[in-house]
Chain A
Amino acid sequence: MKAMSCHSVQDRLSEFLDRLLADEEREKVAAHLASCPACSARFQSFETTRATLRRMPNLPVSAALAMKLRVLASHERQRRLSRASVSAWLRYCHDRASLQFDNLMRPMALPFAGGLLSALLLFSMLVPNLSFRHTVGDDLQLVTYTEPEGRLVESLPADGAPTWFWTGNSPEPTLESADAVDSGKDTVLELIIDETGRVADYSVSHGQLTAEMRSIILLSRFTPATLNGKNTWGKKLVRFPSGPRRTRRNVRS
Chain B
Amino acid sequence: MDGEIGLRVDGRRRRLRVDTRTTLLDALRDGLGATAPKKGCDHGQCGACTVLLDGRRVITCLTLAVAHDGAEVTTAEGLADGERLHPVQEAFVERDALQCGFCTPGQVCSAIGVLAEVAAGHPSAVTEDLTGPVELTDDEIRERMSGNLCRCGAYVNIVDAVRDGAR
- Is the pairing of A and B real? no
